[in-house]
Every structure is written in C-alpha cells, then in structure tokens.
Structure 1
Amino acid sequence: MTIRPPTLSTARAILLPAFVTFSAQAGWAQQVTTSLVDTMQDHCFDLTGSAIDCPAKGEAFYGQDAQHPRLAASYADNGDGTVSDDNTGLVWQKTPQTKRLQFAEAASYCAALELGGLSNWRVPTIKELYSLADFRGELLKPEEGSPTPYIDTTVFDFEYPKAQMIFAGQYWSSTLYVKGPIINDENQGAFGFNFADGHIKAYGTGLNFFTGEAAASSGLANGPANGQAPGNYVRCVSGKENTYGVNAFVDNADGTVTDTATGRMWQQADDGTRREWDDALAYCEALDLGGHQDWYLPNSKELQSIVDYAKTTFPAIDTTVFGITQDSETLDYWTSTTFGDIKSHANVIVFGKALSKAGDQTEYTDWHGAGAQRSSIKTLKGQELTDEDLCSVNACDVDRADNLVRCVR
C-alpha cells in the first residue's frame, strides 16, 4: 500500500480531515461531509507568470493558492486496480478506459465494471472528479520539456492521447448541463475535466438539448443522425452517490454564508467591482466582514464547491442565500490558483455563460457551460492579448483581466 504524504517544500497545514466536527460560529457545531482536497499548487507567481518567492503578508501578490494550503491529498493504492482517497472516502479505478466513449457508453461501462471486489462502479459527478485535480500540472510544448498531467501519477495511471492532440485528455462526469445547449445552441452537454490541460467544461453527449414540443417541432428529438460526439475517457468511482459535494448552506445574517458540508464561510454577496488578479488577492486579504478578518481569495476547488450544477437557470449558484452581480453575461470569478499551462493567467469559475466561439461563428455562445473552470489573464498592464492567449485550435474564449470576487474563510 502506498500512501502519498504532503510533498511541498514547506510544511503544509493539514486542516479539516474528513468528518471532523468543529465550531464554525459561537453556539453551534457542524459535521463536515465534503472534505475539500487541496489543489496542491506549491509555487507562487507574479502577473507575467514568473515563479517568485512567496510574498509576506501585506506585500504584492500575497494570498495566492500556495500560501493558503489546506487538506493535502492522500491516496492509497490498494494493489487490486483501485485507489482509495483517504480524505473523501471515494474509491477510484486506478487505470482508466483507454478509448473514448460516448456519454451513454461511459455510464454502461462503469455500471458493468467489476474491480477490486466491487461492483457498484459509476461515472463520477463533476465535483467528485474535480477532487482529483492536481494543479501542479502543466502542458508544455515539446521543445519546453515533458508535460505534467493534472492528476497524481504516483498512484493513478494516465496517458496523453496518442492519436489526437496532446491536450485532448477529457474525462466524463455524470453531471449533465441543464441550463441550455452548448457549442452551437443545439448540443446537449455533460461536464468533464481535462486532466491534460486542467479545465472543466461541458462536452457534447451526442444528443441535442431540445425536449418535448421543442424537440418535436425541430425534428431533432433523437439528436444528430448518428447520435455521436467525439467522446471522452472515463475513470469510474465507487462510493455512496449524492453525498460528496452536496452543499448545506446557512445564512449567518451578517453578510456571510457558511457551507456546513465543507466548513467554509463565504462572503454572501460580491461587491460588484471587477478587479485584476493582484487586486482581487489584496481585496480578500483586507476584507473585514461578519466580525472576521481572516478572509482570502478561494482556490479553484473551494470556489467550484459552491457551484449549483442542478439549477436550471442562471447564475449557477444558490441565489436564495448568495447575492451575485448580474451586470453582464460574463460572471467569471477569480480564484487564487495560477493556471499551469499559461501562468500569466489564473483560474476562474464561471457562474454565468462560459462564452467562446470558433470557426465561422461571429457571436459568442455558451460553449463551455455555467460551472466551467476556465482561465483569465491576470492583468493587461504592460501586456497585450494574443491569439495564443485567447484561442485553442478549437475555440476562442472570452478572456478578460477584470473579474469578480467572492472571498472565503
């Protein structure tokens, strides 16, 4: 059995072990049911993407991901083709399916899987799948060295695709995109995470989004003629369904909201101000709210944990407890996590439409889906956006340096 200990150069605080009970606010205690595993990002970066010595409190760029370490990843190789996550309690398939499957095929494959003495395998939800993301990953150009996938390959097997572009390392989740069609305003989408390039997005299932009368009138009730899409890989999971990633919000009536499932307290409403990344870090570090002064800019996994993927309307957050700016379609929120592939960018979680376009499209569409994790350039000071920043071979995302902020403690 191999258990991976924390591996960072400095001691990382191991906080919030699974199912610990603690007091989040005077007068009541809580039971943590979703243990948010750290991103494991262990370096600090400036606005241009250069690695720097992590700054001291009060200095520029203080408060980024590596400076607020949380629950370190801990996996056990069970020696039978399975890997246990000591933090989440989930059991994972060590070696994934080696060919791309359609969305329905992936569900059938996992349901039929028998491995490690277990037969209750399934496709993971997007929050379960994202728990495996390791943001020490980076997809380098061949001349720059060997890439590092966004997953711990000391315990999980992973191969970059051989017949396709190296960045095409997408894995299915079971989470359908329910807010509307993706890509061309027709396709049904399901979320996945790309362990090659470190993004969440919705991928075409091979069917159209239309249902009921809309489907009948469009003639697209059964989706495209062959019902096919490019397909994704799948890594099956075993564990109780509808437990991990289920929020339990409490409105504290002081401008804060506590998620008793994760043990995180959130700024209830963003202040409506768009900031560049360094200003976002400084804003959260200086925030005094609800009698607390230990706020910080959330890392990618923390912010993704409050996305409402089941909500059929925009924005992708529980608006019965959270306030959210509605000044435009681009409701992208900064995280403290630098994007490994282009370090002049930081990850954002998209709570509105995840806009992109490709080919002969003249208008941006909800290409990736609300709840996607993309990246934005940290600043436009002294920089110009290039096609390399904005576009992949498939699509060109909206890339803005001023995004919204919601702090956490």
Structure 2
Amino acid sequence: MTRKSFFLIIVAFLLFIVMAVNVSAGTTIAISKIIINSSVTPIMPGDSFSVSVEASSSDSEQMYYKFYYCPNYGTSDYETSEWVVVKDYSTAKTAAYSVPSSGNYIVVVRAVTDPANEPDALPIIGGLVSVGGDSGQVNIADFNSSATPSLKAGESVNFFLNASTPDNSQIYYKFYSCGNYGTYSYPTSTWEIMQEYSTANTCSHAFSNPGNYVVVARAVTDPANEPAALPIIGTNVAVGASESSSVNYKIVDTGQTKTYGNTSEISPPAAGQAFSGQDSQIQGNQPSYKNNGDGTITDLNTGLVWVQERGNRISWDDAVSGASSCRVGGYSDWRMPTIKELYSLIKFSGVNGPDNMVTTGFTPFIDTNYFGFVYGSGIGSERVIDCQDWSATAYVTTTMHNNATIFGVNFADGRIKGYPKYEPSSGETVGKLLYVRYVRGNPEYGKNSFQANSDSTVSDLATGLMWSKDDSRQGMNWADALAWVQAQNAANYLGHNDWRLPNAKELQSIVDYTRSPSTTNSPAIDINYFNSTAITNEAGQSDYPYIWTGTVLLDGGPSPSGVYISFGRAIGYVNGSWIDVHGAGSQKSDIMAGNPANYPNGRGPQGDAVRITNYVRLVRDI
C-alpha cells in the first residue's frame, strides 16, 4: 500500500487519520504516544513546532522513524496534495516542523524496525495541526495509549487525548476503532464506536479478537456541527491472542503476486470484476526467514526452526528414527515435520516447466535463498519432479492398490500427495526413498482450536480465521467461485461482508488428517464443527468434494490451474479404474473452466479426476 493510497482510503472513510499496527514477520510494534508541541498558540505560518513519538517492538529491535506532512486537509485539494518529508528514516524520535502558509495539515510519523521492508500494516501515527487558526480552533497536543507489544485480546487498553482551544471552550471527545488494517478486508470493515462524544478525554477498551486495529479520537467544541477539517488524531493497537486462545498456528502467505484468468496472466481485476478476490490480491503474513548461521533457518512467522540443507533420500522409517540423532545447530530436539508444518514452507511463486525431464522453465516452490533444494536427475525414469519431501503424517487408509501411504510435499511441482511408504513392487520390504527436512520449536503449530459460533460460522482461535460452517452446497468453476464469494459479501452472508476464497495454506489448515471417507465415513475435516456436502465420485462411491482455493498453480506451459484441497478421496484413473491415488487431504489443481466430459480418463500420470465444478468454503479474518 502506498503512502498516498493509504490516506485516500482514510479520507473516504469518515475523514480520519490513524496510526496502524504491525504484526508482521514475527515483530509487533506498538506506538504509545505522539506529542505535538509548540511554544505559541495558535501556530502561525513560519512558526516552528515539534512532533515526537514513542514506540517499541516486541523483540526490542532498534526503531527507525520517518516524519512527514500533507497540506489542505478538509478541502477538495487534499487528495491530490503532495506529501512532504520532514525527516527521513533515522533513530531520532523528534522532528522540527515549519509550514509556509495557513491551513490544516496532517502530520504523520512512521515507526519500523526495517526501513527497507515496510510491512503492509504500516505502523504510522498522525493527527491534525491547524496553522493560522481562529480562536475556536481545537489544538491537539498529544495522544497516548497504554498498549504494549504484548497486549492480548480481552485485556483493557487506555487512551488519553490532550486538546485545548485558545478561548478555553468546552471540548467533546469521541473514540472509535476499525480492525483488519493491512488486509484486503480493511476498506469494507466496520468502524466500532468505543466511546461516544462526551467531555471525557480518556477511554478504556478491550478488543475481543486479535488483529491489527486503528484507533481514532475526535476533539470538537460542537458535536452537532463537526468541521470539514475534523480535529482528529490516531494511534495503534496490535492485539495478540489471549492466553487461552493463542494464535500459535500462524498461516504464512503463499507468496503469490500475479493474477490470472482461465488461461493466462491478467491485469489485477478491480473489486466486482471477473476474477477479483484471488490469492495475489489478498496479502497475508508474508514469508520471512532468518538464517541463523549454524545450519538452521528460523521462520519468523511460525516460530519453527528448520534444518537448512536437504540431505539425502532415505526411507520413511529411517527418517523418523533419524530425527533423534540429528544434531544440526547443536540442538537435540529435532522432529519429523507434520504435513501442516511442512506445507508452511510452500511458495506459489513456483512454476512447473513444460517437460518433466529437464528443469528448463521450472521455479522451485520453496525459497531457495534460505533452503537447500535439488530437482530430480531427469535421467532414465527419474523425472525432475521426483524429489518429494516426507512428512510425519501417515494417511489413515491406503492409496493406489492398497499401498501404505505417507503424505509429503513436492516443492518441485507445488502439491501435497500421499506417497507409498514402500516401493510398490517390493511387497513392503524396501522403503521408498524421499527427502526429509527436520524441524524444531513451536509444538503447537498445526493444531486447530475451533469454536462453534451461533451464526453458522466457526472460529479457529489457533489461526485467527473464521470459516463458514457450510460449504457452497453446489459446484462451480473457478471464476464462478470467485464471483460467488462477492455475491455472498453483497448479501452480508452470515452477518459479514468481508468473506474471501481461502488461499491454499488457509484451506489446508482445516484438514483433519485423522479422517477419511474409507475409515471414518466422513470428509477429512472435523465434522463436529463443519458440514460437508456429500457427492458420488467417479468410481460411484459416496464421497466428498474438492474445495477451490484462490491460489493458482502454474502447470507445464506454464498454464494456470486452480488449486484445490481434496476433503474426500483424491480420485485418479489408473489401469482402467477410478481409485484413491493420493489421499483425502491432498492438494492438487484443476482446470479452471470447461467440460469435465472431455477428460473421461482424467489428466496427468495418475489420471487425476477433472471436475472443474468444485465447491467453496468461505473464510475471513476474525
């Protein structure tokens, strides 16, 4: 989000100026105070006044501050006015301002730990300064917040606004807030009045849900006649999960940055247009890693620590037993990653090339700036995509022709599949060889904490996501799925208008790998909380649908295909019959539009069923 576009949004929504919160890349920044100080009142053109700020970060990193302003607030010229930088990023917490002419100015300060990498939820604080004002002008001197980087949902935070007028008129104060700052949902989010106009210049409030909030205070002498240049100032609150509902399962964004139609890349569609609302248009927790210099990599979002190098192919049994003897980085608590832990590393900036025997046109689905990766040899029968990683998660039933199956991630072609534990022709005597990457830290990662709500929604307190209890109850192609989400928002479905098509990682987070149609007669989802439409699959079995995501997989061409999660059997056509080839809970992709009848034997080497009309389950941020 650019600086100008941020403030255009602010003008469009109740003419406010805010400070926002950063809960990004593992760091939370809290700005607790802004002070606007002048030796004269009112401030006149050419007079000097100072702006100071207090901020801190959750990991006590060095803070950097940038000071700037924009003129013409409260007029039609504001939207096109240029922002003036008073002091660029430095460690100085105070800057001296002086403006040349009378008018209303918005003064703003940014506070970050890394000026080269500003987050989407940009931590800024600001307010109105009037120059050459009349005797009734409200002058805001400072705004304070008791919020700290460790603030949790349900805990009270206090706000204090100090304002005055030259003629000592009575001032009335109003406090309000808005969530979802820094997300796609922010422009349509609802403002909550925390305290209506009163003479109290303090407000105490407890935010019930974790997230990034903007908090704004107004100060006027006549609440019934608010001026065009509304005296307002804002500060931030970064609200973490409460101790009873910690967000220990932070979903890392897919890293997708381009937008697609049915057959090719397209320009980003505007809201309401076809293909609007896909993965790349919704910014989540952006991938962020730290090389620890000891052969380990820390994921700054999830708190998981990974072995950097890939090692050699080994059997699943050897991979499991080898974790206890791993001493990379001097640690002795390494473990096999679950499929949800392993999938947190996937990046859908990857590309599948046109020929599986050469790497030309391929881009890995993992960040190779941090993690070791090697393609298959492309020699003999080994394809370049034959380089999968084991997880610790076994399929609760079998795939193919009664093969014991382990889920894994293919960072060469961007999929979760169930892989045979043993070489199929060995009679379960020779283990299949895949790669393994051990993990440590955050043992709660991948564990859901569902809460059934009274409005047919389900909150996952572990991820901070809210889901529709029901799926769409009908299949549709990918473009229609995106349009269907927009229609639900227009109808304020289940009381919300900020639903979206989940990305691949969000949707995979609610898979229950202890369930399958064959073993529990259910989809691979917690049926205590979610309803799923039953279907009859290609083999004539009672089954459950594939569910679309907003993520696109570039497949051999490269051609875009829509990513789905299989909550029922992952059906494929092999040796003349339809069977479960990769397991309930796998992630693959489907053709976005067309007629499934044109693919009577599926597609790809395992004859993956082509359905095209897949189902939808809605998600939003809590």
Counterpart position of 1:216: none
- Out of 185, 197, 208, the residue aligned to residue 413 of structure 2 is 197
Residue 109 of structure 1 is matched in structure 2 by: 322
Query: Pick from 525, 529, 535: which aligns with 1:327?
Result: 535
Please say if 1:309 is aligned against 2:513.
yes
TM-superposed CA distance for 1:21, in Å, is 4.2
When structure 1 is superposed on structure 2, of 292-301 and 268-277 the one drifting more is 268-277
For residues 285 and 149 of structure 1, the distance between their equivalents in structure 2, rounded to whole angstroms, comes to 32
SS in 1 for 2:248: coil
SS at match of 2:398: strand
CA distance in 2, matches of 1:168, 1:44: 28
- Cα shift readout 1:35-75 (whole Å, capped 9, x = no counterpart): 10000000000011x11111000000001000111000000
Distance 1:327 1:226 in 2: 33
Do 1:330 and 1:354's aligned partners in 2 also have CA atoms closer than 8 Å? no
Partner Cα distance (1:319, 1:197) in 2:
31
Describe how 1:2-401 pairs up with structure 2 within 5 A: 13=120, 21-22=152-153, 28-29=208-209, 30=241, 31-48=246-263, 50-98=264-312, 100-141=313-354, 145-162=360-377, 163=379, 164-178=382-396, 180-184=397-401, 186-206=402-422, 225=427, 227-241=429-443, 243-287=444-488, 288-311=492-515, 312-313=519-520, 314-328=522-536, 329-342=543-556, 343-358=559-574, 361-380=575-594, 390-392=603-605, 395-401=606-612
Q: Report the number of matched residues.
A: 377
Letter paired with 2:441: G
Residue in structure 2 matched with residue 217 of structure 1 by the alignment: none
C-alpha spacing 1:4/1:315, structure 2 compared with 1 (3 Å): closer
Matched letter for residue 174 of structure 1: A
Determine the C-alpha separation between the residues in 2 that align with 1:124 and 1:144: 27
**1:216-259: CA deviations, max 9, x gaps?**
xxxxxxx9545224321111111243x10101111111021110
Mark the CA change 1:378 to 1:307 in structure 2 (over 3 Å): closer, same or farther: same
Tell me: higher relative CO, structure 1 or 2? Use CA pairs within 8 A at least 6 residues apart.
1
SS in structure 1 at match of 2:480: helix
Cα 1:157–1:289 shift into 2, 3 Å = same
Work out the CA distance in 2 between the residues paired with 1:370 and 1:20.
39
Report the TM-score, using the length of structure 1 for normalisation.
0.85
Shift of 1:366: 1.2
2: distance between equivalents of 1:115 and 1:254?
A: 48
Q: Contact 1:124–1:173 at 8 Å: present in 2 too? A: yes
The residue identity in structure 1 corresponding to 2:576 is T
Whether contact under 8 Å (2:485, 2:499) holds in the other structure is yes
- SS of 1:290's equivalent in the other structure is helix
Q: Say if 2:308 and 2:370, in contact at 8 Å, map to a contact too.
A: yes
Per the alignment, in what secondary structure is the counterpart of residue 101 of structure 1?
coil
Q: Secondary structure in 2 aligned to 1:318?
A: coil
For residues 144 and 181 of structure 1, do their structure 2 counterparts lie closer, same or farther at Cα, with a shift above 3 Å needed? closer
Instruction: Determine the C-alpha separation between the residues in 2 that align with 1:350 and 1:183.
Output: 16
* CA-CA distance at 1:382 after TM superposition: 12
Letter paired with 1:170: Q
Q: Which amino acid aligns with 2:290?
A: A
Q: What is the CA–CA distance in structure 2 between the aligned matches of 1:284 and 1:12, rounded to whole Å?
A: 27
1:173-230 deviations in Å (ceiling 9; x for gaps): 000111x21111x21111000000011011111299xxxxxxxxxxxxxx95452243
Identity percentage of aligned residues: 40
Residue deviations 1:292-338, cap 9 Å, x none?
A: 10001000000000000123523100111111101222510000001
CA–CA separation in structure 2 for the residues paired with 1:11 and 1:381:
45
Distance 1:14 1:382, change over 3 A: farther
Q: Counterparts of 1:204 and 1:28 in 2: how far apart (Å)?
A: 46
State TM-score, norm by structure 2: 0.57
Distance 1:299 1:93 in 2: 26
Amino acid at match of 2:507: L
Deviation (angstroms), 1:12: 6.9
C-alpha distance in 1 between matches for 2:428 and 2:609? 31
CA distance in 1, matches of 2:448, 2:421: 27
Query: What displacement does 1:97 show?
Result: 1.6
| SS of corresponding position for 1:174 | strand
Question: Could you tell me which amino acid in structure 2 is paired with residue 158 of structure 1?
Answer: F
Asked if structure 2 preserves the Cα contact closer than 8 Å seen for 1:4 and 1:75, the reply is no
- Structure 1 residue 101: deviation in Å? 1.4
Larger Cα Rg: Structure 1 or Structure 2?
2
Deviates more, 1:327-336 or 1:88-97: 327-336
Q: Structure 1 14/154 Cα, relative in aligned 2: closer, same or farther at 3 Å? A: farther
Change (3 A) 1:27 1:156: closer
Secondary structure, aligned partner of 2:577: coil
Aligned mate of 2:615, from 380, 404, 409: 404
CA distance in structure 1 between the partners assigned to 2:344 and 2:289 by the alignment: 12
2:297 touches 2:308 (CA, 8 Å); kept in 1?
Answer: yes
Unmatched tracts of structure 2, length 5 or more: 1-24, 28-116, 123-148, 155-178, 180-191, 193-205, 210-240, 537-542
- Whether contact under 8 Å (1:96, 1:158) holds in the other structure is yes
CA separation of 1:224 and 1:66: change in aligned 2, threshold 3 A: same
Counterparts of 2:430 and 2:292 in 1: how far apart (Å)?
A: 36
